[in-house]
Amino acid sequence: MRTRLLALKSAVPPYVLEQEDVVERAGRLFRGRRDIERLLPVFANTGIARRYSCVPIDWYEVPHGWRDRTSLYVENAVDLLAQVTQSVLAEAHLRKEDIDAIVVSSTTGIATPSLDALAVERLGLRRDIRRLPIFGLGCAGGVTGLARAADLAQARPGSRVLFLVVELCALTFRKDDHSKSNIVATALFGDGAAGAIVSTEGDGPEFGAGAEFTWPASLDIMGWEVEEDGLKALFSQSIPTLVANDFRTILHGFLARNDLRLADIDRFACHPGGAKVLDALEDAFEIERGALVESRGVLRDFGNMSAVTALFVLERMDWRRKGQRILMSALGPGFTSVLQVLEG
């Protein structure tokens, strides 16, 4: 028996950040950088119209330390996880007592006890539930975490595994960091959460082949640097080039090992790291520029929510439709590509 995806839901925090408002604030906050006017067009070039934040836009006007950021991270992450859990249970027509295991992925904050334990307490999940917190996967955490949840369900047939992912990227903003990477991060990232339930029993698409590939000597491509006042985004300008040069080879190797062809894939649920990355992915998939409609739409409406984003993309698709094959993909720190097939 293969593991199936039984339910999928998403959630966002309450504050809306319109990109035109963000660029106006950024112009003021980063005015100490001489070439800020030259860099501001990056906000328009992202293809993002709005994002969501767990704090109002005025929060970004003053400095914040680890204690403030962590308190906000834990409070808002657990709120969003509780919200999305209730939604996904309702969609699957299950009770909280039916959940046997919980997997939680997040990389934008720290919590000990971990978020899975906090969610168990908030929601009143079973005391004997199996728990797996995942940290450090970054933008790949949604697809990789979902695959790990499917592995847990496969290992114990009949069990129901709740997968949750939450990222509060906005809380990593550091107003006194005028580096180009921080300005790009300010233009790209938003907050959100998603949840899924997987099991070998029930109705839904099956988890097919999956794989990961980690580039050699690529640890400095993407990640966090720990600063005194928070986490500093680290991502290289070379990411679109790496995708353009190497992803096609990785993709075709994965397909060949699993007796698949590119023509066998009906839909692509890709993490939209940015507009240039989507261009490179469309080239690798041999589809027209702009064809990744759901990925581009999620980027436009929510921004890059790190690990959460790929599940928002999948949710926009008719993922329950019989007879179709969906390929999920994401890129994250390592530098790693993750692929996962869903078969209807």
Question: What are the pLDDT tens digits along the chain (344 aa)?
Answer: 899 999 999 999 999 999 989 888 888 888 877 778 888 888 888 889 999 999 999 998 888 999 999 999 999 999 999 999 999 999 999 999 999 999 999 999 999 999 999 999 999 999 999 999 999 999 999 999 999 999 999 999 999 999 999 999 989 988 787 777 788 888 889 999 999 999 999 999 999 999 999 999 989 888 888 888 888 888 777 788 888 889 999 999 999 999 999 999 999 999 998 888 899 999 999 999 999 999 999 999 999 999 999 999 999 999 999 999 999 999 999 899 999 999 99
**Domain boundaries defined on the chain:** 4-199, 206-343
> What DSSP state is assigned to residue 223?
E
Strands (E), the chain: 4-11, 15-18, 50-53, 101-105, 130-134, 160-168, 191-199, 206-214, 222-227, 230-235, 267-270, 325-332, 336-343
Largest CA distance in the chain: 60
Residue 52 near residue 13 (C-beta atoms within 8 A): yes
Domains 4-199 and 206-343 share a fold: yes
Superfamily for the 4-199 domain: Thiolase/Chalcone synthase (3.40.47.10)
d(CA 16, CA 65): 23
Any idea which residue has 């939604």 for tokens? 87
At residue 189, the 3 state secondary structure works out as strand
- CA–CA distance, 173 with 183 (Å, rounded to integer): 9
67 SS3 class:
helix
Q: 73, 109 in Cβ contact below 8 A?
A: yes
Query: Which residue, chain included where needed, has tokens 């709120």?
Result: 79
Q: Please give the pLDDT value at position 122.
A: 96
Contact between residue 247 and residue 240 where contact means Cβ atoms under 8 Å apart: no
Q: What is the second-level CATH architecture of the domain 206-343?
A: 3-Layer(aba) Sandwich (3.40)
Tell me the DSSP string of 102-150: EEEE--SS--SS-HHHHHHHHHT--TT-EEEEE-S-GGGHHHHHHHHHH
The model's pTM is: 0.94
Catalytic site positions: 139
What does the alpha-carbon distance between residue 116 and residue 311 come to, in Å, rounded to a whole number?
Answer: 19
d(CA 176, CA 316): 37
Hey, is 46 helix, strand or coil? coil
CA distances from 310 to 111, 239, 306 (A): 23, 18, 8
pLDDT of residue 239: 84
